[in-house]
Amino acid sequence: MKKSLLAPAVGAALGVFGGVPVYADFIEDSKLTFSTRNFYYNQDVRNQEGARLEEWGQGFMLNFQSGFTEGPVGFGVDALAMYGLRLDSGGKVGKAGVDRTGGSVFPLESNGSTVNEFSKVGVTGKVRFAKTVAQLGALRPRVPVVIANDGRLLPQMYWGAQIVSNDIDKFTFTAGKLEHSTERNSSDSDSLSIEGSNNRKTGQFSNEFYYGGVDFKATKDLTLQYYYGKLRDFYEQHFLGLVHNWQLPVGKLQTDLRYFSSDSDGKNSSASGRAEGYRANGYWSTGSSNRYEVDNQLWSALFTYSLQGHSLGAGVQKITGNSDFPHLNQGGGRVLYLITDAQVHKFHNAGENTWVVKYAYDFAAAGIPGLKAGVNYFSGDDIDAAGSDKREWERDIRLDYTFQEGVLKGVGLSWMNAMWRGNDTRDVDENRLIVNYSIPLL
């Protein structure tokens, strides 16, 4: 890999202190990337009076990832600096006569107007021993029980500690603790919560989310997973997963099975704690002594057949229990490890049954590398609710193209379109236009 002149310059600076031998790997294995993202967002509520969400911004990210110092125990540091500039966002939230507002991509001022700019910085110290790496500071975890959100202009960051070990062949062990979150549309560090408790004025929060698990590569085609997550005073969650790839005489069939079991923890387990505000969303019968208590079981199966650039998937997801599927949600958006993690909604309500159909095509198979397209359809029903069960559906379309050559080589364009409909709440149409570009500096 070709290195820039920055690496020798850093090495020379460290050499003044006689540290070049110790820092050789730290320097040579370091990476510095400058990324830009132009993001346009439009969400229109079709059957409700009021302003639509519409925002446009330009983001910049400088991502430094060091190597490790030499020796049995190596030390390193990562840093991520982010800046978002508002290009357009409409009027103030709540102001009469305004037909479009912000609040999804950029933070809001106390008077409801969108800020002109915002920024955030994350620094992570890291230590490596053999094939185990420990990190402390800013984290962007991606495991079944917690996934950092990158669905807007700038990504979400969590703050805490994490250890990942690959010392045992075929096994990857992960463990961590998260204390705070910097949401995707915020510069502030917030405590953690769930849906039903995350109102900043009246809700309840926790600074202790523990997680851990293992990925076992049983064969080259079979991966087994177990993960555990616990948000103190809210819920604990167990996850089992299986992913199998079967190479057929013609094409490939992937089987993806997932199971979550979630129960209450701490204050959410008691009526007095729930009265304090440690509550989950869901549906309970009138007078139920377990009202607002976490109680959720979710299983899903998704089967995807792939052939010559085409992939066609069909799946089902079933939820039982009184509460909605619990997950970290501080009010700034979330990503769930569910086959129903759609663009607008997540199909994670108490009692909900969802059918899923997904189709995607990689045009590289037709001689057009860099162009990809996909469409997903979700249909959920039997949602537990007062009176009668509710239902919903969503159709998502995505088109991506990355330039392969010329002056625009590496520039990525994305269009995401969603239509959501239900019989219990507002209808939503949504569009996102995204331009991404990254330049390796080191």
Whole-model pTM: value is 0.92
Angle of the 6-15 helix axis to the 20-28 helix axis, nearest 10: 160
Please report, for the chain, the start and end positions of each structural domain, with discontinuous segments joined by +.
6-440
- Length of the chain equals 442
- For CA atoms 142, 147, 153, 154, the dihedral sign is negative
Alpha-carbon gap, residue 210 to 208, rounded angstroms: 6
Please answer whether residues 174 and 146 qualify as being in contact, where contact means their C-beta atoms are separated by less than 8 angstroms. Answer: no
Alpha-carbon gap, residue 436 to 37, rounded angstroms: 5
How confident is the model over 394-406, as pLDDT tens digits? 999 999 999 999 9
How confident is the model over 269-302, as pLDDT tens digits? 999 999 999 999 999 998 899 999 999 999 999 9
Predicted pLDDT at 17? 43
How confident is the model over 127-161, as pLDDT tens digits? 999 999 999 999 999 999 999 999 999 999 999 99
Alpha-carbon gap, residue 181 to 192, rounded angstroms: 7
Tell me yes or no: is domain 6-440 CATH 2.40.50.180.
no
Alpha-carbon gap, residue 318 to 382, rounded angstroms: 10
